[in-house]
Amino acid sequence: MDAKERELLQLIEKSGRLETSTIAKLMGISEEETKQIIEKLENEKVILGYSAIINWTKGTDEGAVTAMIDVKVTPKRGVGFDKVAERIYRFPEVKAVYLMSGVYDLSVSIEGKTMAEVGRFVSEKLSTIDSVISTTTHFILKKYKHDGLVFSENEEDKRIVVSP
């Protein structure tokens, strides 16, 4: 990856809504070159998608229940943790899966409509996978900061400019 590609990625990581023309000006390159770099990075699966960070507690009662689940597994011979992780990330409830160091092997982030729904996922889907030895579920009670952005009710915090 060259310096231009890295700079472009850093710009869109901070704000995925930047126009191609704005990115070009910030980088000091042509709009056409910017488009070519973006297309190349998308084709190479370096840029996987664009998303917005939503504070679902504002103006809606659709707050999903988010849980972080620590999972201890027995790795499969020849493929390690990859096959177990793949089986887990294929469930639609799963938002993220990470291989971890420490006591647990995988960290799984899931969303459900209720705590009971998350509980059913753990007991009926996750825990029944052959390689899963044990799980510990942690429910997110309140989000303070996510991807470098502060979720705050505090008036003082609202005046702070957050840059990831």
Q: At what angle do helices 31-43 and 3-14 cross, to 10 degrees?
A: 90
> Taking residues 146-161, what's their average pLDDT?
63
pLDDT for res 50: 80
What are the tokens at 2?
């060259």
Taking the C-alpha atoms of residue 106 and residue 96, their distance in angstroms, rounded to an integer, is 10
Long-range contacts of 82-87 (CB under 8 A, 24+ apart): 83/131, 84/129, 84/131, 84/132, 87/129
pLDDT for res 160: 44
Residues 118-144 have pLDDT tens digits of 999 999 999 999 999 999 999 998 888
Q: Say if CB 111 and CB 95 are below 8 A apart.
A: yes
DSSP 124: I
pTM score, whole prediction: 0.69
Sequence letter at residue 13: E
Residues 43-92 have pLDDT tens digits of 998 888 887 766 666 665 566 789 999 999 998 888 889 999 999 999 99
Residue in the block written with tokens 């707050």? 63
Q: Say if CB 97 and CB 89 are below 8 A apart.
A: yes
pLDDT for res 120: 95
